[in-house]
Chain A
Amino acid sequence: LGWDVWHDEL
C-alpha cells in the first residue's frame, strides 16, 4: 500500500 507522500493532485 502506498503511504508515501504523494502530492500529484491539486
Chain B
Amino acid sequence: MNLFRFFGDMSHLASILILLYKIHATRSVRGLSFKTQALYVTVFVARYLDVFTEFVSVYNTLMKIFFISSSCFVLYLMKGRYRPTNDPSIDTFRVEYLLGPCALLALIFHYRWSFLEVLWSFSIFLESVAILPQLFMLQRTGEAETITTHYLAALGAYRALYIPNWIYRYWSEDVIDPIAVTAGIVQTALYLDFFYVYFTKVLQGQKFELPA
C-alpha cells in the first residue's frame, strides 16, 4: 500500500459518501444516472466475489463489503425511496454497447482461464466505461448540481491517483498489471473533459454549465 493508492481509495470512499449526502440533503436522485449506478453494482459484484475465496487484508475485505453494499443501497434509493425524483427519459445511454464489448474483451484478455478471473477482467473493463451514461446525461442536460460535480470529481480523482500508484509499484515492486493499467488510463481519460469544466467553473464558484 502506497500513499497514491491509499488516497485514491479514500477518494473513492469520499465519492460514495458525497453521493449519499447529495441524495439525503436534496431528498432527490435528480441528475444521477441509474444506468451508471447499476453498472457499478455489476462491477463490484463481479470483481469482489473473491471476498469469499481470497484474503488480502482486513482493509481490503472491509472496503469490498462497503463498495458492494453502498452501491446496492444507492440502487435501492433510486428505484425505491426516491423513485419519483428519478427521470429515466434523460438516462438514455445504451448500456448494451458497453456490456457486450466488455464481455468480449474479458474473454480475450485475462490472466487465467477461470470463471472468477474472466469475471475479474470483465469488471475492470466495465468499470473503465461505467461512468459514460452519467457523463452522457450531463452532456445532454448541460448542467449539474454542484454537489453532483463534487461526487464526479472525487470519483475521477480516485482513478487518476491509481496511475501514479502503478508507476510507483512498477518502480518499487517490479510488478505491472497490464489489464488494470490500460483500463485505468482509459477511465481517467474519460474524465478529462469533465475535470476541465470542474476546475475552470465549479472551483471558481460558478455553476456547472456546459456551453450550448
The main secondary structure of chain B at its interface with chain A is: helix
Partner of A6 from the list B57, B63, B162, B177 (CB cut-off 8 Å) is B177
Rounded to whole Å, the gap between the CB of A6 and the closest CB of chain B is: 6
If A1-B176, A2-B173 touch, whether A7 touches B120 (CB-CB below 8 Å) is yes
The answer to whether B176 touches A2, judged by C-beta atoms less than 8 angstroms apart, is: yes
Q: Which of B155-176 contact A (CB under 8 A)?
A: 162, 165, 173-176
Instruction: Give CA–CA (A8, B174) in the complex, Å.
Output: 15
Q: Which residue of A lies closest to B180 (CB)?
A: A9
If A10-B63, A10-B67 touch, whether A5 touches B117 (CB-CB below 8 Å) is yes
Asked if B112 and A10 make an inter-chain contact with CB atoms under 8 angstroms apart, the answer reads: no
Task: Check: B143 CB closer than 8 A to any chain A CB.
Answer: no
With contacts A7-B120, A8-B57, A10-B9 known, what are 17 further pairs, Cβ within 8 A? A1-B175, A2-B173, A2-B174, A2-B176, A3-B176, A4-B111, A4-B175, A7-B50, A7-B54, A7-B56, A8-B56, A8-B60, A9-B162, A9-B165, A10-B60, A10-B63, A10-B64
B-contacting residues of A (Cβ < 8 Å)?
1-10
**Alpha-carbon gap, A10 to B65, bound state (A):** 11
Collect the chain B residues with CB atoms within 8 Å of residue A8's CB: 56-57, 60
CB contacts (< 8 Å) of A1 on chain B: these are 174-176
In the complex, chain B residues whose CB is within 8 Å of the CB of A3: 111, 176
Best-buried of A5, A6, A8, A10 by chain B (most CB within 10 Å):
A10
A2-B175 contact in complex given A7-B120, A8-B56, A9-B180, C-beta closer than 8 Å: yes
